[in-house]
Amino acid sequence: MCGIAGFINYRKSLAEAESILNLMMTRIHHRGPDDCGLYLEPGMGMGNVRLSIIDLAGGDQPLSNEDGSLWIVYNGEVFNYIELREDLIKKGHRFKTQSDTEVILHMYEEYGTDGLQYLNGQFAFAIWNNIKKECFFARDRAGIRPLFYSEVNGTLVFGSEIKSLFEFPGIKRHFSPEALKETFTFWTTLTPRTLFDGVYELPPGHYAHYINGRLEIKKFWSLRYATTSTRFNGNAADALDQFRYLLSDSVALRLRSDVPVAAYLSGGLDSSATTALIRKVAPAHLNTFSIGFADNVFDETKYQNEVSQYFQTNHKSIICSANNIAEWFPKVIWHSEIPLLRTSPAPMLGLSKLVHDNGIKVVITGEGADEALAGYNIFKETLIRQFWARQPKSKIRPMLLKKLYPYLPNISHASQGMLRMFFGYQLKETDSPVYSHMLRWHNTSNIQKHFTTELNDYLEDYDPVFEYAEMLRPEVEGISSLAKAQLIETNIFMSGYLLSSQGDRMAMANSVEGRYPFLDYRLLEFAASLPDEFKLKGMNEKILLKELMRDELPKSVINRPKQAYRAPIHDAFLGSKMPDYVCDLLSADRIKESEVFNPESVNNLIQKIKTAQIPSEVDNMALVGILSTQLLFNQFVKDFKPLNEQRILKGHVRNKISLNQK
């Protein structure tokens, strides 16, 4: 795992280019503390900071092919690189390293853009052709690894994180109003937009060519859910056999590493399942890591310990308090680079630090199982609301919703009238392609009432839900309601939030690589082909995974009700003693300074939360969203501190011939 950055069509000297590139790489040094390498030639430069995991001695970047015509910088892992390498050798390619990086380079040389179809992994890379003077970029199918870009004064600038781009002269650091509205609707922006105006991300499953000053972007993969005529036509036993093979093989591939591989263990079904499969593939002693909470409402330590003892893992854990959330939150926002509506990434930052402090670079996690196998409550909620919509006057049907959220007192203790008010939004709009998420997005968009009048006036004619629904309509033709909900959750929430703010960014902040067996593209495609009842039957979710693990895990883990991963909010920021930075950033003067929120409205929200016996989820989300936006404004817009010259990396220049042309 690594970080990459670079620029093309830069019209100043190589010495200046080298200095800027070193600044860009220093900004993302946390992604790769083991080495820093640069490629420079007149008009362009690109670099890599390396977290050494495969071919520790020979895999330094940038790396070239045999004749030096192609150079690559790469962030990620291609897990089937051994098999691909063997095929390439048979075709006459010669290798100088044992790295997966060199395999990607030769795959591109052999197959061009079609080579992406063979790669099983998580990646973002750039390949420079110094003969044709053009660049090829690609990002993995699920969007596990990030890649951002911007254009300024005719120069294309790219990098693994936005903060790296901001080291390039002339790139503006302004919030995009449209991005703010999207984030306070969907929990993230709609790709390719980012929070910052003029800064974009390469969408998951896409590649791009930069030729003659133009960036041409194309899709090479998308997840297609089956229609009635294209669904998996085997029985449940057939599906289980295929699922067992795919998941086991996915885990085995993700254990490939020249450094030790550990696992996150949350105590839930997904991480327990990956732990069970790791022990089957590699029965050697396994390191597992967990995070518990001082507040019992959020804590799953009991189950974590039970699974750890069951598999006799070498287990380490930490306890996270509300004070820890407050302490870590500014760093969380610095790494996330987007407003958050949850504090859940903060414990993940603490957990990755625990992993790093124990000398581990790689962890396997369970993300993706809920999206692929219909594990989230939003899928059940959609079915209940559709059931209720058929008899909208029913008094019994809305009461079913109480069972979904026992951990939310505002819902579990709600009267029938309150349930109708909360869950009844657009109840009869069942034909909408985004029906499953309309209620969530409506509740989230309530936060926009705290925007300034000027911002809301500017955004009055922009309806991101309508635009996304129209864009989605052709994709969901003929698929089930559950499949529609899964597609939305995968395309927006998983890629834009879960794998980014809660995944890549929190792990890489502490130089830790996450690997995700459930996001193997073969498994995603297989799950998308299954009939609904193989994933969700009634209120019983993840049918296949439970069946697969029935004799592999403690019964208590298999049968326990799903507990959403959550973390403290109001106690962290508005408890008995508000942290100094919270008092400062939520003050009227600082709110006015950012020009995003109305100071009076924010103050009313704070007083409401402080006096409420149980603050609502919407108010808690608003608090996190406002505070995180204020932090982002302070960190990136108002006070983006220049790097200390004494701390700047001096990357090893791999391409010394071109450097000597200066």
All structural domains of the chain with their residue ranges: 2-173+196-222, 236-367+499-559, 377-488, 570-634
End-to-end CA separation in angstroms for the chain: 32
Q: Locate all alpha helices (DSSP H) within 543-587, ordered by sequence.
A: 543-548, 555-559, 570-573, 580-585
Structure confidence by residue, pLDDT tens digits, 428-479:
888 899 999 999 999 999 999 999 999 999 999 999 999 999 999 999 999 9
Quote the CA–CA distance of 223 and 203 in Å, as a whole number: 13
550 pLDDT band, cuts 50/70/90, is: very high
Look at residue 506 in the predicted model and tell me its pLDDT. Answer: 97
Q: How confident is the model at residue 660 (pLDDT cuts 50, 70, 90)?
A: very low
| Residues 122-138, mean pLDDT to the nearest whole number | 97
At residue 567, the pLDDT reads 87
Distance CA 3, CA 308 (A): 33
- Burial code (b: 16+ CB inside 10 Å, e: under 16) for 450-487 equals bbbeebeeebeeeebbeebbeebeebbeebbbbbbbbb
605 burial (CB, 10 Å; 0-12 / 13-18 / 19+) is buried
Other beta carbons within 10 Å of 126: 27
Partnered with residue 211 across adjacent β-strands are 214
Q: 521-529 and 236-253 helices cross at what angle (nearest 10)?
A: 170
Residue 6 and residue 654 in contact, taking contact as beta carbons nearer than 8 Å: no
- The DSSP bridge partners found for residue 264 are 289
Question: Do 137 and 115 contact (CB within 8 A), yes or no?
Answer: no
- Of 295, 288, 336, 279, the residue nearest 499 (C-alpha): 336
pLDDT tens digits, residue range 246-300? 999 999 999 999 999 999 999 999 999 999 999 999 888 899 999 999 988 888 8
Of 50, 117, 27, which is closest to residue 80 (Cα–Cα)?
A: 117
The reported pLDDT for the residue numbered 507 is: 97
Band the pLDDT of 661: cuts 50, 70, 90.
very low
- Give residue-wise pLDDT tens across range 553-581: 999 999 887 777 888 899 999 988 899 99
Q: How many residues in total does the chain contain?
A: 662
SS3 helix, strand, coil % of the chain, rounded to 5?
Answer: 50, 15, 35
Could you give the CA distance from residue 81 to residue 76 in angstroms, rounded to a whole number? 12
- In angstroms, the CA 288 to CA 314 distance is 6
DSSP per-residue codes, 482-499: HHHHHHHIIIIIIIIIIT
| pLDDT over threshold 70, residue 644 | no
Residue 416 has a pLDDT of: 66
Q: Can you read off the two tokens belonging to residue 207?
A: 């590649």
CATH superfamily of domain region 236-367+499-559: HUPs (3.40.50.620)
Give me the DSSP letters along 448-514. Answer: GGGB-HHHHHHTTT--HHHHHHHHHGGGGTT--HHHHHHHHIIIIIIIIIITIIIIIHHHHTTT-EE
Q: What is the percent of the chain with per-residue pLDDT over 70, rounded to a whole number?
A: 95
Return the structure tokens found at 130: 């110094």
* pLDDT of 412 higher than 70: no
Inform me whether the pLDDT recorded for 408 exceeds 70: no
Architecture in CATH of 2-173+196-222: 4-Layer Sandwich (3.60)
Burial of residue 34, with CB atoms counted within 10 A of its CB: 0-12 exposed, 13-18 middle, 19 or more buried: middle
Average pLDDT over residues 179-207: 98
User: pTM for the whole thing?
Assistant: 0.95
pLDDT bucket at 417, cuts 50 / 70 / 90: low
Q: Write down the pLDDT at residue 425.
A: 77
Residue indicated by tokens 């597992």: 288
For 280-297, the three-class secondary structure string (H helix, E strand, C coil) is HHCCCCCEEEEEEECCCC
What's the pLDDT score for residue 662? 39
Per-residue pLDDT at 645 exceeds 80: no
Rounded mean pLDDT of the chain? 93
Write the pLDDT tens digit of every residue in 380-405: 988 888 888 888 877 777 677 767 77
Q: Name the band, by pLDDT with cuts 50, 70 and 90, for residue 1.
A: low
Task: Decide if pLDDT at 155 tops 50.
Answer: yes
Cα–Cα separations (whole angstroms), residue 650 to 38, 66, 644: 9, 26, 13
Specify the pLDDT at position 533.
95
- Please tell me which residue, 420 or 59, carries the higher pLDDT value: 59
pLDDT of residue 228: 84
Residue 563 pLDDT: 76
Q: Find the angle CA(96)-CA(133)-CA(47) to the nearest 5 degrees.
A: 55
Residue 590, pLDDT score: 97
Average pLDDT on 92-119 reads 96
User: Is the pLDDT confidence value at 152 over 90?
Assistant: yes
264: part of which helix (H) or strand (E)?
A: strand 261-264
The predicted structure's pLDDT at residue 427 = 75
User: What is the predicted pLDDT for the residue at 613?
Assistant: 86
